[in-house]
């Protein structure tokens, strides 16, 4: 049965439908979104689609981790009611020529370094939401800029979907769970916990009364620089809604970071409250 018709049948029975879009290589962070959706909806659909349009020239789409059979097993155990795994041709049929650009929000942080990435994200999410037509869709807070972009896109296009966010899920050493973590070699994986250590240092400074963005970021850089394999791409304190840089912490703000370990790029963030 086509996913759209399945949703219509559920809706006809008075059921609320939740949707969790993923690119596969599922970990506990994804499964926490499924659990959250199960608590808020009667039926939950999870999509698995590695979206080619959000990878720029400097990234290797073919190297993105994948384990489809294991993903299906995890989703079955998690209680998902349907897994939607469209082909590239289903999402981007011959002659497809549309792209969605969310201006402003995509100019900072990851948007400065990943040309076209958020256009690809916004476009594929609009397509998936249009196909599935859920009542709610769930995304993780680890991809904070992506979350803001999707919320704006959904509001601007009046897609009629509630966007809910799930908290960051971390490994025991504090590293944010990510499909890309599996690409780290043992030493890179060991050092990668320095990202959370840096964010924790920022939280300590704020509790001590620090409000200057540059001093907060400088302290985080010092921590991350102690990892010999870490290459900091960006570290900024920004408004969590507009993604614009802040010089002072006067309202809740997003401290966002991207770090390379070898060829693997990891992102993380923390909300700081004055």
Catalytic residue list: 30
The Cα–Cα gap between 119 and 231 comes to 26
In this structure, are residues 20 and 138 in contact, taking their beta carbons and an 8 Å threshold? yes
* 124 phi, psi to nearest 5 deg: -70, -35
> Do the Cβ atoms of 216 and 255 come closer than 8 Å?
yes
Q: Are residues 68 and 48 in contact, defined by beta-carbon separation less than 8 angstroms?
A: yes
- Check if the beta carbon of residue 217 is closer than 8 Å to that of residue 195: no
Q: What is the CA radius of gyration of the chain?
A: 19
Q: How far apart, in whole angstroms, are the C-alpha atoms of residue 272 and residue 133?
A: 34
SS3 track for 28-63: HHHHHHHHHHHHHCCEEEEEECCCHHHCCCCCCHHH
For residue 78, give the nearest of 18, 13, 125, 6 by alpha carbon.
18
- For residue 105, what is the DSSP state? T
Which one, of 183, 54, 199, lies nearest residue 120 by Cα?
A: 54
Give the three-state DSSP class for 4.
helix
Is the C-alpha dihedral spanning 153, 155, 156, 157 positive or negative? positive
């Amino acid at each position: 049965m086509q996913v759209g018709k399945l949703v219509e049948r559920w809706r006809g029975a008075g059921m609320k439908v939740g949707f969790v879009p993923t690119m596969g290589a599922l970990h506990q962070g994804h499964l926490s979104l499924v659990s959250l959706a199960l608590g808020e909806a009667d039926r939950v659909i999870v999509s698995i689609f590695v979206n080619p349009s959000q990878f720029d020239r400097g990234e290797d789409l073919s190297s993105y981790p994948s384990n489809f059979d294991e993903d299906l097993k995890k989703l079955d155990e998690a209680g998902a009611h349907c897994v939607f795994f469209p082909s590239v041709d289903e999402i981007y049929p011959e002659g497809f020529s549309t792209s969605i650009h969310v201006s402003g929000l995509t100019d900072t942080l990851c948007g400065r370094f990943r040309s076209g990435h958020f256009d690809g994200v916004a476009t594929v999410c609009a397509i998936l939401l249009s196909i599935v037509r859920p009542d709610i869709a769930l995304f993780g807070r680890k991809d904070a800029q992506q979350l803001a972009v999707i919320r704006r896109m959904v509001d601007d296009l009046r897609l009629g979907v509630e966007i809910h966010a799930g908290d960051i899920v971390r490994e025991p050493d504090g590293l944010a769970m990510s499909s890309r973590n599996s690409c780290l070699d043992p030493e890179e994986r060991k050092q990668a916990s320095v990202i959370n250590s840096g964010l924790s240092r920022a939280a300590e400074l704020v509790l001590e009364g620090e409000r200057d963005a540059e001093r907060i970021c400088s302290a985080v850089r010092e921590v991350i620089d102690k990892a010999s394999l870490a290459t900091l791409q960006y570290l900024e304190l920004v408004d969590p809604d507009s993604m614009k840089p802040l010089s002072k912490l006067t309202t809740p703000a997003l401290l966002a970071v991207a770090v390379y370990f070898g060829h693997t790029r990891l992102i993380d963030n923390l909300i700081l409250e004055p």
